[in-house]
Structure 1
Amino acid sequence: MSDPFDDRKARASAWFRQLRDEIVAAFEALEDSQTTGPFAGDAPGRFEVTETKRDAADGGDAGGGLMSVMRGGRVFEKVGVNVSTVYGELGEAAQKSMAARGVPGMADDPRFWASGISLVAHMQNPHCPAVHMNTRMFWTPNAWWFGGGSDLNPCIEYAEDTAHFHAVQKTHCDKHDEAYYPRLKEWADEYFFVPHRGRARGVGGIFLDDHNTGDWDADFALIQDIGRAFLPAFVPLTQKRRDTEWSEADKDTQLVHRGLYAEYNLVYDRGTKFGLQTGHDANAVLMSLPPLAKWV
């Protein structure tokens, strides 16, 4: 007997792959169009694509995905765009984590399926903001939900850039419910806060998790629009700032801010913990870490 969710899983997995392809193409186009600045004489950056596999406890097939990483480009110092679809049984640590979040039936049936896209971009020019985005679907025999969002992480803040990024997110959320954006913005402000530093890691964005209204199609449409918002929210900021001249002090500010970003991802980020707990490729899970960082 087939799982009634099989078609929905396939649709979600295909969407995340489509979004990945669109973002990779847009980022490589930014590299091609960068004809000024200190890296203009270099070859335009290109993504290196590696297949990833999740290790199953019994050695069987447990899914995987694509890790796409660009290093040392004209615009991007390091950017990763990962997509994966993994499944199997949750380990004890992941089961306990899910049960603590209120996911029903974890003690009785640890089977799961998860698919999503995860992106982090670290820029050459300190005036260009770093950015993070992910969207995902999670399924267990007793529950399903969507999660994700995107947030902007400039080391040198521009109020108009922050306003643009948030305005695009709001427009895409408002198509579904005008109550979504303010709630998801507040959620992002809380989630991307670094307690031991007493500050946010960036200027926020939107975030949601465990999203299940009972209407799968409506929830899937929302998560698609959260994904669609990413390129129009981020690419214009890169185009605006990528030719701004920077100083060594600006670069130092960027490296210190990257240290904050690394601290958050290693200590608090739920996706990092889940990926490592479930045996996914460690290089793919830790793709978000910057190529260089500094602590004072």
Structure 2
Amino acid sequence: MRHLHRLVKNPSARAWLVGAVPAALGAAALVNHQNESQCKASRIPAEAFMYSKFSPDRAPKDSIEFDTTAPMNKRMEAMILRVQDEICDGIEAVDGKKFTTSQWEREGHGGGGRSRVMQDGNVFEKAGVGVSIVHGKLPPAAQKQMRARGKPLEEGKDLPFYACGISLVMHPKNPMAPTIHLNYRYFEMETGRLNDKGKPETIAWFGGGADLTPSYLFEDDARHFHSVYKQLLDKRDPTWYNKMKKACDEYFYIPHRQEGRGVGGFFFDDLEDTSEETFQTIRSCANAMLDSYVPILKRRKDLPYTQKQKEWQQIRRGRYVEFNVMYDRGTKFGLATPGSRVESILMSLPLTARWEYMHTPEKGSWEDRTLQVLKNPVDWLDVPEVNLETLSTAELLQEIARRSE
């Protein structure tokens, strides 16, 4: 009991227990009956789930990223190149190994990129952070893909386009540490028609997001990850997180497996609101990659694991491969774009993966519990406030034991 009271008095432990207790009790919400109507209990604020505070914005104050008179494509280019540098520096500090850098060009087409990859590191099996800045004529296959998403493009015409973006995927060695993916991109293209001034009509949009893929579920990790991005999105529009969280669960879904790729995050595409407020929100989300991931990584990268757990990680990596090569829009667009660098497009694939015939995890196992969450998306931040004084010692210990498995 003395140790339990000490745990409850600790602020970070208390925040963890407050999030864990509803699951232990099987309570999805607390309901008050007032004025013959049901009112949802107050929820724990998102910031309570963060492992650490936000880092400061490292962009210089005189950066073009803050120049509202500059073209959006140039501001986006500056942002993604800076963020690539910052992310690689931060990950190198954790791993101890350096990224290798490859500059590439689309010969005869226009543009190029900068790919940075770490392979067989101390912490990471494979980690890649790529920037691409390309332009040219959009090929028919890519045009067809965009028309299917509702883009008003004229058929039978060569349509000039411009695209830039940053994309990363990081696969740790330890199966207790999750994989992270993010992508932020900006697209401009001509529709093939003229506007009311007689000039080529141009459309532009943002896309992107960030998501987490654990092999072994730690609920607190998922809550930390989601809380980072909810707070940033809420500053722009309080409705964005819920919409983009749902879009993420739907997009990163593997139909033939009937399961999600991971525990989600947020995702958006075809965001034609290219206002200053929207750009700054995307900047803040891109800046937050290390804040969202490194605190999780530091907690998991050195945990002990078994050969069986490593094999389960490899099976989950196989699912990652299936999604990326069969369903991912970015992979499809890249492979359909002439002159694209295939090595950079497939940089997201893990170094190793595994496919076992008819593999099914043991019912009730950690692997099975993780799989059930992948099949049934969770609202990680919908956690009711709980009065710890009303809980029995047995209820608290039950959840502590479950989390310790």
TM-score computed with the length of structure 1 as normaliser: 0.90
Mapped contact 1:20–1:83 kept (Cα < 8 A): yes
Mapped contact 1:169–1:206 kept (Cα < 8 A): yes
Question: 1 CA distance for matches of 2:251 and 2:152?
Answer: 23
Determine the structure 2 residue equivalent to 1:46.
98
Determine the structure 1 residue equivalent to 2:317.
258
Question: 1 CA distance for matches of 2:227 and 2:331?
Answer: 28
Determine the structure 2 residue equivalent to 1:37.
none
Question: 1 CA distance for matches of 2:275 and 2:153?
Answer: 20
Structure 1, unaligned runs of 5 or more: 32-43
| Bigger Rg, which one | 2
- Partner SS state of residue 50, structure 1: strand
Any idea what the Cα deviations from partners look like across 1:104-148, whole Å, max 9, x if unmatched? 234345110000000000001110101100100000132100000
Determine the structure 2 residue equivalent to 1:276.
335
Identity of paired residues, percent? 43
Any idea what the Cα deviations from partners look like across 1:49-68, whole Å, max 9, x if unmatched? 0012224xxx25x1011110
Determine the structure 1 residue equivalent to 2:26.
none
- Partner SS state of residue 175, structure 1: helix
Determine the structure 1 residue equivalent to 2:164.
115
Mapped contact 2:101–2:115 kept (Cα < 8 A): yes
Mapped contact 1:48–1:69 kept (Cα < 8 A): yes
Query: C-alpha displacement at 1:228, in angstroms?
Result: 2.0
Amino acid at match of 1:276: L
Determine the structure 1 residue equivalent to 2:130.
82
Between 219-228 and 142-151, the greater mean CA deviation after superposition:
219-228
Aligned CA-pair RMSD: 1.5
Say yes or no: does 1:104 pair with 2:163. Answer: no
Question: 2 CA distance for matches of 1:111 and 1:261?
Answer: 33
Any idea what the Cα deviations from partners look like across 1:238-293, whole Å, max 9, x if unmatched? 01111101110111011000000000000000000001111310000000000000
Any idea what the Cα deviations from partners look like across 1:140-186, whole Å, max 9, x if unmatched? 13210000001000001101101110011101111111111000000
Question: 2 CA distance for matches of 1:245 and 1:10?
Answer: 46
Amino acid at match of 1:255: Q
Quick one: which of 248, 257, 262 aligns to 1:197? 257
- Partner SS state of residue 114, structure 1: strand
Determine the structure 1 residue equivalent to 2:176.
127
Amino acid at match of 1:52: W
Matches within 5 A, 1:82-231: 82-107=130-155, 108=157, 110-141=159-190, 142-213=202-273, 215-231=274-290
Mapped contact 1:80–1:120 kept (Cα < 8 A): yes
Determine the structure 2 residue equivalent to 1:27.
91
Structure 2, unaligned runs of 5 or more: 1-68, 191-201, 357-405
Say yes or no: does 1:11 pair with 2:70. Answer: no
Question: 2 CA distance for matches of 1:106 and 1:235?
Answer: 45
- Partner SS state of residue 236, structure 2: coil
Task: Report the CA distance shift for 1:106/1:76 in structure 2 as closer, same or farther (over 3 A).
Answer: farther
Question: 1 CA distance for matches of 2:74 and 2:280?
Answer: 15
Amino acid at match of 1:70: M
Query: C-alpha displacement at 1:6, in angstroms?
Result: 7.2
Show structure 1 runs of 4+ deviating over 3 A.
Answer: none
> Which of structures 1 and 2 has the larger relative contact order (alpha carbons within 8 angstroms, sep 6+)?
2
Between 5-14 and 123-132, the greater mean CA deviation after superposition:
5-14
